[in-house]
Amino acid sequence: MALPVLADLAVGQEVARGTRTVDRSRLVRYAGASGDFNPIHWNERFAASVGLPGVIAHGMWTMGSAVGVVVDWLGDPGAVLDYQVRFTRPIPVPDPGEAEVEVVATVGALDAEAGTARIDLQVSALGTRVLGKAQVLVRLG
């Protein structure tokens, strides 16, 4: 699959949109893969005792899931040069059930000389933004 072409993009253009879901079993699997066994990600009583609304998704799971929408659009994870976010709100994960994370990717800036684009992400759950200043620098065709 060929990368999107820089000349075909415009600042403000939406390039991708997607929904990611997370449930308690995914949190357990992510904890095992990442080594992050903080009880706020699996123990309801502990999470509440530290002032959280309940068990919350790992921030790095949220960050990785959000950039996945851009990677799907690109068709090549190697085209991602840089990725930065600010964590603004936790994502409560109900039991039973799942939390939905909505991601909208738009072109924030273009650099024809470098062959790159900055893709800005709006990432929200339950209508609330959960990542701030989420920006992905990508190299395009």
Break the chain into its structural domains and give their ranges: 6-139
Reported as a single tens digit per residue, the pLDDT across 56-74 is: 999 999 999 999 999 999 9
Quote the pTM value: 0.93
According to the model, what pLDDT value does residue 135 have?
98
Fold (topology level) of 6-139 = Thiol Ester Dehydrase; Chain A (3.10.129)
Confidence of residue 1 (pLDDT cuts 50, 70, 90): low
- Signed CA dihedral, 67, 69, 73, 77: sign only: positive
Residue 19 CB burial class (10 angstroms; 0-12, 13-18, ≥19): exposed
* Element of type H or E holding 141: none
Reported as a single tens digit per residue, the pLDDT across 13-41 is: 999 999 999 999 999 999 999 999 999 99
